[in-house]
């Protein structure tokens, strides 16, 4: 089996997929920004993707994926995230170094290839940044209990579940703070002056976290034993 679309086409579909989730529709400008291209280039490609029936596109309105377009987009995202797991788990890359390579690897391999990679990696459900990995049908279960760390409240215990920004400098900053996915913390204090926090980790070691960091960190609250609000059976 060959690649569904060209590398460029797959990148467009991926961008449209993500923008559609955020804004309901992908505007020309937003696509252009995400792909570091000019709006003129985007218009041209949107025409081509419309021809291929991978998007529905109305001039001046924006683009939405068709079923086939969505399938290609999610399969590309699946490959991207599986390769990132491979690079971290098997090749020992740091989590801030894998995106650039995954951006190339995601365009290689068919469904059979991807399923073998998936099996080899033990069918992981999230990538090294906490993002969910779609299954071969393009479906995945998001964790609804995850929310941005800037919405935490005092005394709350929580687990770090992901990042909403995968930029290298942010990830390296988290390394410096010894903040890793899966690690447990408790909110000690919040400082309205600058929006910063004091948390303490499972060893009782305190850290200071800026508003910028908390705003891009995804966490899941740990229900307290006595507190029983919003508990799922």
Binding site for Mn ion (CB under 5 A): 11, 99, 103
> What's the CA angle centered on 132, arms 127 and 138, to 5 degrees?
120
- Looking at the DSSP bridge assignments, the partners of residue 186 are 157, 200
Q: Which is nearer to Mn ion, 84 or 186 (CB)?
A: 84
Q: Per rule CB under 7 A, is residue 130 in the interface with DNA? A: no
Answer yes or no: are the C-beta atoms of 41 and 34 closer than 8 Å.
Answer: no
Answer yes or no: are the C-beta atoms of 32 and 66 closer than 8 Å.
Answer: no
Interactions with DNA, residue window 30-49 (CB under 7 A): 35-48
What is the smallest separation between the CB atom of 164 and DNA, expressed in angstroms?
23
What is the smallest separation between the CB atom of 128 and Mn ion, expressed in angstroms?
9
Answer yes or no: are the C-beta atoms of 15 and 26 closer than 8 Å.
Answer: yes
Contacts for 108-114: CB closer than 8 Å, 24+ residues apart: 108/3, 108/79, 109/79, 110/1, 110/2, 110/3, 111/1, 111/75, 111/136, 112/1, 114/75, 114/78, 114/79, 114/82
Among 27, 126, 159, 168, binds DNA (CB under 7 A): 27
What is the smallest separation between the CB atom of 101 and a copy of itself, expressed in angstroms?
6
CA distance linking residue 56 with residue 186, whole number of Å: 46
For the window 178-207, what string marks contact with DNA as x by the rule CB under 7 A?
A: ------------------------------
Alpha-helix residue ranges (DSSP H) falling in 53-146: 67-89, 98-105, 111-120
Answer yes or no: are the C-beta atoms of 217 and 163 closer than 8 Å.
Answer: yes
Interactions with DNA, residue window 38-97 (CB under 7 A): 38-48, 59-60, 62
Residue 120 interaction partner, one of a copy of itself, Mn ion, DNA, none, beta carbon < 5-8 Å per kind = a copy of itself
Interactions with a copy of itself, residue window 81-110 (CB under 8 A): 90-93, 101, 104-105, 108-109
Q: Per rule CB under 8 A, is residue 111 in the interface with a copy of itself? A: no
Q: Per rule CB under 7 A, is residue 8 in the interface with DNA? A: yes
Q: Binding residues for DNA, per CB under 7 A? A: 6-9, 11, 27-29, 35-48, 59-60, 62
Q: Binding residues for a copy of itself, per CB under 8 A? A: 90-93, 101, 104-105, 108-109, 113, 116-117, 120
């Amino acid at each position: 089996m060959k690649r569904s679309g060209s590398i460029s086409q797959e990148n467009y579909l991926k961008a449209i997929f993500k923008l559609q989730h955020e804004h309901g529709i992908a505007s020309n400008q937003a696509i252009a920004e995400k792909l570091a291209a000019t709006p003129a280039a985007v218009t041209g490609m949107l025409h081509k993707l419309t021809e291929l029936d991978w998007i529905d596109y109305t001039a001046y309105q924006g683009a939405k994926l068709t079923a086939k377009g969505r399938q290609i987009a999610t399969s590309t995202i699946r490959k991207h995230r599986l390769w990132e797991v491979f690079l971290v788990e098997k090749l020992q890359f740091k989590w801030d170094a894998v995106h650039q390579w995954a951006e190339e690897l995601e365009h290689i391999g068919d469904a059979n290839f991807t399923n073998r990679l998936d099996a080899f990696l033990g069918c992981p459900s999230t990538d090294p940044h906490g993002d969910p990995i779609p299954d071969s049908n393009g479906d995945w279960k998001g964790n609804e209990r995850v929310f941005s760390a800037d919405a935490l409240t005092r005394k709350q215990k929580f687990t770090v579940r992901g990042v909403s920004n995968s930029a290298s400098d942010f990830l390296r900053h988290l390394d410096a703070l010894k903040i890793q996915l899966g690690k447990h913390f408790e909110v000690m204090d919040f400082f309205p002056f600058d929006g910063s926090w004091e948390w303490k980790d499972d060893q009782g070691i305190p850290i200071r976290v800026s508003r910028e960091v908390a705003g891009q960190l995804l966490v899941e609250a740990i229900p307290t034993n006595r507190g029983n609000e919003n508990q799922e059976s």
